[in-house]
């Protein structure tokens, strides 16, 4: 059964990936319910990868009204725009300057107000606590070299996660909720070790499997024992 599942995944990727690469080789309009996005080729496309929609569906179960929400790596803005429409006060950040440009375009087109910051993780953010932090991180272990690759690659040694956990607590208060979406291609032991080293624990609160991969949503919290030290 394991070999058969692997063969199915391989055949799907061989068929699916070339068509996908061709389709997203130029700017496309993507509709999610009543949200319309312009997605250029240099920005992660939320319609063809399951992680963004999974995280969005999980966040949609929460009361977002008047919540202060930070989306790290907001891409074309689907989650940030949805949250703003639900009454959240949203700060959307991204390291990719093209994503920042299209965050502004898409926010205006969907008539929502976002605070948008070009930032490598927390580097350009003012320190303040958020009620909710949403993260769809890069997790393949390779050094990014161009704008789109920052959505996929976390560094040869997972440097993205090292930097994320080293400063995450500066942007939280005692009741903050941090949600991160990952897939079964991640180096889970590495990420968990880095989180633990910074005093964080994580709990899988949702998982969803499709023909290609399994995705997980983790709730990340600061270890109480760490706080008391």
**Please, which residues bridge with residue 132 across strands?**
69, 177
Using DSSP's 3-state secondary structure scheme, residue 142 falls into: coil
For the chain, where are the alpha helices, taking DSSP H only?
2-23, 50-59, 78-85, 97-109, 159-167, 188-197, 224-228
Tens digits of per-residue pLDDT, 132-151?
999 999 999 999 998 889 99
Phi-psi region of 123 (alpha: psi -120 to 50; beta: other; left: phi over 0): alpha
Tens digits of per-residue pLDDT, 154-187?
999 999 999 999 999 999 999 999 999 999 989 9
Is 119 in contact with 95 (CB distance < 8 Å)?
Answer: yes
Phi-psi region of 4 (alpha: psi -120 to 50; beta: other; left: phi over 0): alpha
- Which residue did the predictor score with more confidence, 177 or 225? 177
What span, in angstroms and rounded, lies between the C-alpha atoms of 52 and 36?
15
Where residue 156 sits, what CATH number does that domain have? 3.40.50.150
Q: How high is the pLDDT of residue 224?
A: 65
Instruction: Give the residue among 112, 115, 110, 116 at the shortest CA–CA distance from 35.
Output: 110
Phi-psi region of 33 (alpha: psi -120 to 50; beta: other; left: phi over 0): left
Number of domains in the chain: 1
Residue 48, pLDDT above cutoff 90 = no
Q: Which residues constitute the domain of residue 139?
A: 2-228
């Amino acid at each position: 059964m394991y070999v058969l599942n692997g063969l199915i995944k391989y055949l799907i990727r061989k068929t699916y990936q070339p068509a996908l690469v061709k389709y997203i080789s130029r700017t496309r309009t993507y509709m999610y319910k009543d949200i319309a996005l312009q997605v250029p080729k240099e920005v992660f496309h939320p319609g063809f990868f399951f992680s963004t929609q999974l995280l969005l569906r999980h966040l949609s179960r929460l009361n977002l009204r008047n919540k202060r929400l930070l989306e790290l790596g907001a891409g074309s803005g689907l989650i940030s725009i949805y949250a703003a429409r639900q009454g959240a006060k949203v700060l959307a950040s991204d390291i990719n300057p093209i994503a920042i440009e299209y965050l502004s375009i898409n926010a205006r087109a969907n008539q929502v107000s976002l605070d948008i910051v070009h930032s490598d993780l927390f580097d350009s953010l003012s320190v303040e606590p958020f009620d909710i932090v949403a993260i769809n991180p890069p997790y393949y272990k390779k050094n990014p070299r161009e704008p789109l690759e920052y959505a996929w690659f976390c560094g040869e040694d997972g440097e993205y996660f090292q930097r994320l956990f080293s400063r995450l607590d500066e942007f939280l208060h005692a009741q903050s909720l941090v949600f991160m979406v990952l897939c079964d291609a991640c180096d889970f032991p590495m990420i968990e070790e880095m989180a633990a080293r910074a005093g964080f624990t994580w709990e899988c609160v949702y998982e969803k499997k499709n023909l290609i991969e399994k995705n997980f949503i983790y709730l990340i919290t600061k270890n109480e024992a760490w706080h008391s030290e």
